[in-house]
Amino acid sequence: MQTAETSEAIREINLSYIMLAQRLLREDRAIGMFRLGLSREIADILANLTLAQVVRLAASDQLLCFFRFNDQAMLTALTQAPKNSTVAPTHAAIIMAGLPAAQFA
C-alpha cells in the first residue's frame, strides 16, 4: 500500500517526465526520441497531449518512466568514474543506441 506522500512523489515525477519529454520532442524530435528511447508512435502521442491530458496521465499511481538498463554490467559501466571523461558521453550514447525503443501494445 502506498502512502499519500509516495503517491504524490510519483505524480510529481510523472509530471516532470512528461513535460521533459514534450520539451525534448519539440526541440528536436529525432534526438528526443533517441534520448527517451521512444518509438515514433509513442513520441507522437506524448508530443500532442493537451495540458488536461498531461495532468490526467501524471496523476497515475504508476511511474511512467523506467530504467532503460536491465543489464547489470551496462549500468555498472556507466556509473563508474570514467578513465577519460571526454569520451564518457560518447560511450553512454553508444550503449543507449543499442537499446530498443519503447513499444506498447
User: pLDDT tens across 39-98, in order?
Assistant: 999 999 999 999 999 999 999 989 998 877 677 777 777 777 666 666 666 766 666 666
Distances (CA, A) of 52 to 15, 49, 61, 82: 12, 8, 17, 43
The CATH number covering residue 89 comes to: 1.10.4000.10
Say whether 80 sits in a helix, a strand or coil: coil
CA dihedral 52, 58, 59, 62 (to 10 degrees): 150
Amino acid (1-letter code) at residue 75: L
pTM over 0.85: no
- Can you give the pLDDT at residue 99? 60
Whether 104 is covered by a domain: the verdict is no
- Can you give the pLDDT at residue 39? 93
- Which stretches does DSSP call E strand in the chain? none
Greater pLDDT, 28 or 88: 28
Q: Count structural domains, the chain.
A: 1
Whether 20 is covered by a domain: the verdict is yes
Measuring CA to CA, which residue among 39, 47, 57, 41 is closest to residue 23? 47
Whether 103 is covered by a domain: the verdict is no
Whether 39 is covered by a domain: the verdict is yes
Whether 62 is covered by a domain: the verdict is yes
